[in-house]
Amino acid sequence: MSRSNLLLPVPDFFPKQATGRARRLHYQANPIVAGLTGVTSYGEPGLLELGKDWAKANNLTHSKDDKLKTLAVAIDYADTFGHVGAELVVPNAPEDGWRFGSFVLKHARLITDTMPTFDSHFVPHIFHTPMWRYRSTGKHPDPLTAITTENYNEFEPSEYACYWVGKDRRYLEQYLAHYVHKLAEERVFHIKGEDRNRPRPPLVLWPLHALMGSQGYTLFPEVEEALYLHQFARGSRMLPQVKGLDKLTEAYSPFGSEVTVDHNGDPVGRDSEALIASLLNYHAVIIGGEASSHCVAAGIYDILGRILAKNRDLASKIYILEDCMSAVPGFEAQADEAQKDFVDAGMNLVKSTDDVSSWPGPIQDVIAQAI
């Protein structure tokens, strides 16, 4: 096979552009249900059958046979960030997700496995407005209110909070003080011979979003379709990661919590060092997601921290798809600063529309294997 044959044709049934609308996918032909219900579409080929046909037509091999394995990571392509009219829309997110899905299909021959991450929340979460109220008025703060080391004494647990999380009022008041002070501690990354201090985001009370079981929790349809089609075509492993289930801490990163212990030293979050280690076992890791200023940046900073502590040369295996992510409005400078850190540390900032043959680093070994 020549390099010119590396790219696969995107199936005709895959959307030609992003819709920004939720839609139900047809996973598998089910003639029995079609007969019982009279809905003939149930009997038509689904992604399972279409994926196998697409694999056969393009001579795709099984992922298990890849000697050098590549992982595509889809960070938080959640409906809540991309659906028109959803709770926390990131501008351009539907197009980002469509480009990511298209990239996965075009480069299915080079991608071994996929890892979608799911922003996952309950109503009672430290960063949701129903958890807190102003001491002075008893009213809940508005969405996007920031609680910081300067103003945390203005807030107290809401009338529901203690019951929701199984803690008393004194605990939650002490914990809030501990939490905002922990967030104020900067992370230090030694890059290009200098220490770069990078602050964590303050405690922002976000609009209710990505609630477990809600439509906002689901993947962008183009991302979902591409990941399942890849799995059916190559027998790949989809490795979903659910983040954000710890009610007393934020988890911007899919790989760990912002705060992991409370003021008593007891655990309240998780450190996913083992997950990052497994990710770095891949020969190349390709990352897209939302938003570049928040969850994507936090996740890659976690990966970078592990790399700097273990082996700086590992940075070259990380490929960041800059055209498959966008910043939260007002945080563009934060996203740009993060991407500069990543590139300076040795990671690769690329575009999904680039010829992967021009990408530097370990992906060249993967290409050589494929041809």
With beta carbons less than 8 A apart as the criterion, state whether 275 and 241 touch. yes
Residue 168 has pLDDT above 60, yes or no: yes
- The residue ranges of every structural domain in the chain are 3-121+209-370, 129-197
Q: Which residues lie closer than 8 Å to 86 by C-beta, 6 or more apart?
A: 79, 80, 209, 216
Q: What is the pLDDT of residue 223?
A: 98
With beta carbons less than 8 A apart as the criterion, state whether 269 and 143 touch. no
Quick one: average pLDDT of 300-328?
Answer: 98
Question: What is the pLDDT confidence band of residue 2, given thresholds at 50, 70 and 90?
Answer: low
Residue 109 has pLDDT above 60, yes or no: yes
Specify the CATH number of the domain 3-121+209-370: 3.40.50.850
With beta carbons less than 8 A apart as the criterion, state whether 75 and 295 touch. yes
* Distance in angstroms (rounded) separating the CA atoms of residues 348 and 294: 19
Question: What is the pLDDT confidence band of residue 40, given thresholds at 50, 70 and 90?
Answer: confident
Q: What is the pLDDT of residue 41?
A: 80
With beta carbons less than 8 A apart as the criterion, state whether 145 and 205 touch. yes
Residues above pLDDT 90, as percent of the chain: 89
Residue 38 has pLDDT above 90, yes or no: no
Q: What is the pLDDT of residue 84?
A: 76
Q: What is the pLDDT of residue 27?
A: 94
